Amino acid sequence: MNQSLEVHRKKARIISAGIIGNVIEYYDFAIIGFMAVIMGQLFFPSNDPFLSLLGSFGAFAAGMIMRPVGAIFFGHIGDKISRKYALLASLLMMALPTFLIGFLPTYAQIGLLAPILLILLRMIQGFSVGGEYASSIVYLVESSPEGNQNLYGSFVSLGAKLGMAIGAGFCGWLIAYYGDNAMLEWAWRIPFWASILLALFGLYLRQHLSDEYKAPKSKEIPIVQILKYHRTAFYKYLILASAIWLFYYTLFIYLPIWLQTYGGLTKHISSSLNTYSIILGVIFIPIMAIIADRIGSHKLMRYTMIAIAILIIPIFMLLISGDIYLVVFALSLMTILLCAFQAPIFAATVNAISHHEYRASFTAVILGSAAGIVGGTTPALMTLLTKITNEPLAPAILIALFAIIAFIVTKNISQE
């Protein structure tokens, strides 16, 4: 019994150490997305609220676009030195910029330098996140028991949603407690300062992390070898991951603003619904991962792509129906579809190529590029798209199009 207890403790340590960076990462994304309007007014003031919001989402995108660069850097470290070293280094570099944002002067205090400093800190953070996300995915999948790779890989997304739930819930409580005026004046800084507590906890979890990976002594550069010998798999998985992260950032970052603009919901209701969808994601991510372990990662993703292409436009039509029960139903269905689409991608990407010494780089660059370039620009892209077309359903049409393209490109993708 003591041996069984020790096995469970070891698994808990592996999972906790693996996901803590993602909790911190998405805690930050949640507070940036949740307070996009406030951050826009403070750092990108304009007479046009649309331009302020676009500036705020632009700062979000700037950080995300650095993810592929960080993915190459930390993926290389993970393959050539150790998974543990990459996890520790990326966590340190990721936590500090979030904390420092809470000390930034606003545009009213120092003018143009304020948004420049904000974007610079977001870029530093995005660089480190590019390595953190993939390093934790590879570590968890490689440390998983047989037959549980999807479940362990999905814990990364579970950590992300926990971080989003903490961030969104904390910001919602701050707004309710202090009110809009105090938030705009000074209380917006509190969630950034609070991030240091999560960072310290993360360092504590990771300092005794076990790592069985042995780096090869060859002088090969993993990313070069990947693009030379595994180019087809690389581009297929990049397209697949891009479709997932377009959907992901539409749901969790852009949709709360969209619901206020086109769904006629108040800020409080839309933010509460966002928190609800995050919590629902926490429940369904492991459920979908278990299903993927039973039927296969690619099979579940293919079924989900078809469902998204068919259902996403009707879902958005329900979201603007004005009936709160239909809105909750539509949001629930949208969240479950995302979980079914996203849960299998982690283990599938890690196992996409057989070369163990390329895994960190392969996973980091694909998921870092998809989340950074596509996901990071999604809120700004959707904001522009709905403004230019004056079509509330434009985001749904784009999500459906990406799902169809991903299905066509990846229908012959290799099976487990």
Per-residue model confidence as pLDDT tens digits over 163-210:
878 888 898 889 889 988 898 899 999 999 999 998 888 888 877 766
pLDDT at 336: 97
The winner for highest mean pLDDT among 16-25, 82-91, 264-273 is 264-273
Q: Which residues contact 151 (CB under 8 A, 6 or more apart)?
A: 144, 286, 289, 290, 293
Residue pair 336/284 in contact (Cβ under 8 Å)? The answer is yes
Cα within 13 Å of Cα(253), Cβ side? 34
CATH superfamily, with its number, for domain 7-210+220-410: MFS general substrate transporter like domains (1.20.1250.20)
pLDDT at 378: 86
Range with lowest mean pLDDT among 168-177, 211-220, 344-353, 361-370: 211-220
Which residue, 88, 19, 147, 86, is CA-closest to 359? Answer: 86
Tens digits of residue pLDDT in 264-317: 888 888 878 988 998 898 899 999 999 999 999 999 999 999 999 999 999 999
Going by pLDDT thresholds of 50, 70 and 90, the confidence category of residue 214 is: low
Q: Give the sign of the dihedral formed by CA 387, CA 390, CA 391, CA 397.
A: negative
Instruction: Give the predicted TM-score (pTM) of the model.
Output: 0.80
Going by pLDDT thresholds of 50, 70 and 90, the confidence category of residue 18 is: confident
Which residue, 361, 367, 237, 360, is CA-closest to 298? Answer: 237
- Top-confidence residue, 190 or 137: 190
Percent of the chain with pLDDT over 70: 92
Does the pLDDT at position 6 exceed 70? no
pLDDT at 416: 37
Task: Report the distance separating Cα 136 and Cα 130, nearest Å.
Answer: 11
Does the pLDDT at position 347 exceed 80? yes
- 249-258 average pLDDT score: 88
Does the pLDDT at position 55 exceed 90? no
pLDDT at 356: 65
Going by pLDDT thresholds of 50, 70 and 90, the confidence category of residue 1 is: very low
- 228-249 average pLDDT score: 92
Token output for 288? 């979908």
pLDDT at 3: 52
Which residue, 339, 313, 306, 278, is CA-closest to 408? Answer: 306
Which residue, 411, 18, 9, is CA-closest to 211? Answer: 18
How many C-beta neighbours within 10 Å does residue 140 have?
26
Task: Report the distance separating Cα 383 and Cα 394, nearest Å.
Answer: 10
Going by pLDDT thresholds of 50, 70 and 90, the confidence category of residue 124 is: confident
The winner for highest mean pLDDT among 79-83, 348-352, 383-387, 395-399 is 395-399
pLDDT at 401: 96
Cα within 13 Å of Cα(22), Cβ side? 24
pLDDT at 274: 85
Does the pLDDT at position 218 exceed 80? no
pLDDT at 355: 66
- Looking at residue 31, its amino acid is I
- 245-259 average pLDDT score: 90
pLDDT at 299: 93
Domain boundaries, the chain: 7-210+220-410
Range with lowest mean pLDDT among 30-34, 256-260, 330-334, 377-381: 30-34
- 69-89 average pLDDT score: 77
- Top-confidence residue, 383 or 84: 383
Token output for 291? 């299903």
- Looking at residue 292, its amino acid is A
- Looking at residue 173, its amino acid is W
Does the pLDDT at position 330 exceed 90? yes
Task: Report the distance separating Cα 327 and Cα 334, nearest Å.
Answer: 10
